[in-house]
Amino acid sequence: MSDERHVGIVLVSHSAEVAESVAGLAKALAGGATEVPVAAAGGTEGGGFGTSAELISAAAAAVDQGAGVAVLTDLGSAVLTVKALLAEGDELPADTRLVDAPFVEGAVAAVVTAVTGADLDAVVAAASEAYAYRKV
């Protein structure tokens, strides 16, 4: 295993199962991506549907290797919760960014890019560019 630090990825969904499944899919499609720290922050502390600032903060701290943290969200209050944490200034690791990207495609692009050792700007750009992926 290399001493290289990778960008951490946090996947925030209203559902723990969705967040965990998307994390597993993204890592699998990136060839296992064991060196890229990916954390799911889905649902609430009690296991219900919703978002939790505490779970998001803990996930971001867990994946922080000092190369930055990219946070992707599914919708609505997940976005608002991450924005509120960023506004607080000390709730998330330094160099944490909310990424404007589609949840599944963006997560895959972020992990595939992070596994190459790319920096935070490149990971954010790759995830954001996933909006351009056309299916027809």
Which domains are assigned to the chain? 8-132 (3.40.50.510)
pLDDT of residue 2: 53
Band of pLDDT at residue 34, cut at 50, 70 and 90: confident
Q: Report the distance separating Cα 56 and Cα 77, nearest Å.
A: 12
Phi and psi dihedrals of 66, rounded to 5? 95, 5
pLDDT of residue 1: 44
Crossing angle of helices 77-88 and 53-63, rounded to 10°: 70
Q: Could you tell me what percent of the chain has a pLDDT over 90?
A: 88
Is residue 40 pLDDT above 50, yes or no? Answer: yes
- In tens, the pLDDT along 53-78 reads 999 999 999 999 999 999 999 999 99
Structure tokens at 99: 């990424």
Q: Are 47 and 20 in contact (CB under 8 A)?
A: no
Is residue 48 pLDDT above 80, yes or no? Answer: yes
- In tens, the pLDDT along 118-131 reads 999 999 999 999 99
Q: CB neighbours of 51 closer than 8 A, spacing ≥ 6?
A: 12, 14, 41, 43, 44, 77, 78, 81
**What predicted TM-score, i.e. pTM, was given to this entire model?**
0.94
Is residue 37 pLDDT above 80, yes or no? Answer: yes
pLDDT of residue 31: 87
pLDDT of residue 3: 65
Q: Could you tell me what percent of the chain has a pLDDT over 70?
A: 97
Phi and psi dihedrals of 134, rounded to 5? -100, 145
